[in-house]
Amino acid sequence: MPSLAPAVHLTGVLAALEVIERELAEVSLEAPVPTCPGWSVRQLLAHLGTAHRWALSVLAPDPSTPFDPTAAEAEGLGLPGSAELSGWLRSGVERLVSTIEAAPTDLEALVFLKEAGPPRDFWARRQCHESTIHAIDVIAARTGAPVSADEVTVSDALALDGVDELLVGFWQRGRSSPHTASRERTLVSAADRAWLLHSSEEPLRVHSFRLKDPEAAYEVDAVISGDPVDLYLAVWNRGGQVLDSAGRLQAWHDAAAIRWA
């Protein structure tokens, strides 16, 4: 479940938009995105704006106009320049943020991750990390390389929340779950947060907990650890520097592509 309040996540959405707007002053829309192979900045941002509009359609559906992701993405792709694409993104973000802010705490809506929490909280969190990770992708497009922790302005708390969303939310789903041929235990940790991953040929199981003693030894087959922002970048396959004692992350990234739902 989300470890941060919806207001914190919505602030993160707006902060990511500001990063994108700054980066667009220095990077071409046709620049390749090394952290999203095969995509240009234009394609990346058309995808992001479509994700925002999809979330909005889930939270406040319009029965007279069903959401069409193909049409939404085509709209973004068809915009002539950075200013227009930036404005289109901002329009979607502002509507999304205001809709979540106005939503009741007992809102009923689709959620699609494990241990998702209430729908209002879930969507604030999901769009925060969707936006933050793709803002990092735009930085990578400008530099031409995966990103280091000192190139991003993500708090430790937000980074740890994003690690939790990926490991607990995405990776425990059957279709996006990393697997190992035998039963293995991997400890993932940063600061005082830890996740024990139980992998096998079955869907991954994850137990999250607080580290009372960061120096304590655990009986595991592999360890992945680092500072919070480095771990965030690494588990989301955006860069970062972490200890990965058995080289698990790359194999798991190859096997566990992220899908919207």
* DSSP secondary structure letters along 197-217: EEESSSPPEEEEEE-S-TT--
pLDDT number for residue 260: 46
pLDDT number for residue 258: 65
Whole-model pTM: value is 0.94
Do 151 and 35 form a contact (C-beta atoms < 8 A)? no
Q: What is the mean pLDDT of residues 93-103?
A: 98
pLDDT digits (tens, 9 = 90+) for 23-39: 999 999 999 999 999 99
Do 55 and 127 form a contact (C-beta atoms < 8 A)? yes
Distance (Å, whole) CA 113 – CA 111: 6
Please choose, from the candidates 101, 99, 81, 80, the residue with its C-alpha nearest in 3D space to the C-alpha of residue 91. Answer: 99
Catalogue all structural domains in the chain, each as residue range(s) with its CATH number: 6-145 (1.20.120.450), 157-255 (3.30.1050.10)
Question: What whole-number percentage of the chain has pLDDT above 90?
Answer: 84
Distance (Å, whole) CA 236 – CA 134: 11
pLDDT number for residue 261: 39
pLDDT at 213 over 80: no
Q: What is the mean pLDDT of residues 3-32?
A: 98
Please state which of the ranges 33-47, 121-135, 206-220 shows the lowest mean pLDDT: 206-220
Q: Binning pLDDT at 50, 70 and 90, where does residue 215 land?
A: low
Distance, first Cα to last Cα, the chain: 17
pLDDT digits (tens, 9 = 90+) for 175-193: 668 888 899 999 999 999 9
Q: Binning pLDDT at 50, 70 and 90, where does residue 257 land?
A: low
pLDDT number for residue 176: 66
Q: What is the mean pLDDT of residues 67-96?
A: 98
pLDDT number for residue 251: 84
